[in-house]
Amino acid sequence: MPYEGEFAQYQPLRRLVESDRVQKLLGSYKVKTSSENTSSLKILQPLQIHPGSWIPELLIAIDGSHAEVDIKNGFPGAEASYVTVASVILDVAKMQKLDRQRPVNPKEFKTIEQAESIDCALPGCNVVCEGERSAKDSLRKSIFDVLSSVKMSEDGESLLDTYESLLAYKPITDRTQKCPYEDCPQNNDYLRGNGKYTCSCNLSRSLYSTDALRIHERMNPAGTNGAIFGEIMQVWERVWMVHILRTLEAKKWLSSLRRLAIVIDGQLAVFGQPAWISQAIYQELCRINSVAKQFTEGKDILLVGVEKTGTFVEHFEDLDRKEDGGFGNFPPQSVGLLTDSYIKQNIIFSDSTRPYGDATYFGRKFFYKTKCGARIVATLPFLSPEHRDLTQATQFHYPRLADAVGLLDRLVSSRFPNALVPLVSANAEAAIPLRLGNKVLENLAKELMAENGK
């Protein structure tokens, strides 16, 4: 890395270009040609699908955002992260009614949305909360405190309760987790429990049920921690989705799922240290779905994850691109149902015998080109063990596929390419403007820290 004000010279670049080792390595990489992309489309065999006529009355869209800002506390590199997870309730029935009455007053159109969010500031490098011994301990406590304080219903369970219901599914394995305190005198394994409790060593320090997420283990004590804040955000988005369903169950409102859909930004998956929770979510979704079907005339939950970027989005774009650079290879109102072998041979190279995403996904992906030509990469949940068979890809393996694509047809937004109205709204509630937002958030941190220092 150069010093401030120091500029790179051309000698290293020349050395790299002339290196036999570099040339040999680059020359050995496989390059996929446009003809191979065309053959991939033939292998995929897009299926023409008749979209379902079912329309939800209400739709819940969930999206999150995080932004890291510098904290002026006298320590170099000190940072905090502002994390927000927004959920928007979209009145689809009213939206369709207004759509038939165009032009519509924007104020009137805005009434179809209701939003709420989880907002918090989490400590990063060199930020230590009062009473804590380190930034890592401060982060552990903050994660626990936020989940403890959030609930959908005032008389219902908290987000922490929902998380702990998922924790109960986590199996006990030989790969034990170590105590979060590195100087634990007994070098203990982490003792899993609910709520806040104490380590079994003679120091009796605080442990939290949320320590099982293991997010704190990757905290960088001397640099930025954007990656782990992204992990926190993705966990909260998905636990919030389960929290909504569990609250409906506790209130005896599961019959409302006949007229409700849920859309999440991103895959139906959890990555990184807390990836174990994806399989717990799968088991809880199966349980809730089996109960809900008693009140929904046998209909499964309609839950859709939608990806905006990534390798699957790029691959779908390549499939649809013609030789002249335009688009149109993939027929409108067609689906591409993905098997494990197709994914590994065409999108994410792997020779593993384990199915793609076996440990991280609680759903399976598909491609859909809407009636108006938008390309959507979506995921539908596993709601039974049979849905997890990635050696096959039929409509049976995608619960409520026809209803899902019918909904996608109706929700396409013209504001952005391949975008959906509810996720545009949820992102507007969650997104933190990077330049203006950082300045505002820095000032907020400065004011709050000054008040606490009085």
Residue spans of the domains in the chain: they are: 47-125+223-452
Assess contact for 375 and 365: CB atoms under 8 A: no
What does DSSP assign to residue 296?
A: T
pTM (two decimals): 0.89
| 202 DSSP β-pair partners | none
pLDDT tens string, the chain, 454 residues long: the values are 555 666 666 677 777 777 888 778 777 776 666 566 667 888 899 999 999 989 898 899 999 999 898 888 888 889 999 899 988 888 888 877 776 766 666 666 677 778 888 888 899 999 998 889 999 999 999 999 999 999 988 899 999 999 999 999 998 776 678 888 888 877 778 888 999 999 888 788 899 999 999 999 999 988 899 999 999 999 999 999 999 999 999 999 999 999 999 999 999 999 999 999 999 999 999 999 999 999 999 999 999 999 999 999 999 999 999 888 889 999 999 999 999 999 999 999 999 999 999 999 999 999 999 999 999 999 999 999 999 999 999 999 999 999 999 999 988 887 788 888 888 888 887 776 544 444 554 555 555 555 555 4
**What angle in degrees, to the nearest 10, is found between the helix axes of 159-167 and 135-149?**
110
Number of neighbours of residue 82 by Cβ within 10 angstroms: 21
Distance set, CA 402 to CA 50, 245, 292 (Å) = 7, 22, 19
Both structure tokens of 209? 């049920």
Assess contact for 379 and 308: CB atoms under 8 A: no
pLDDT digits (tens, 9 = 90+) for 164-216: 999 999 987 766 788 888 888 777 788 889 999 998 887 888 999 999 999 99
Maximal CA-CA distance, the chain = 72
Residue with token string 């179809």: 112
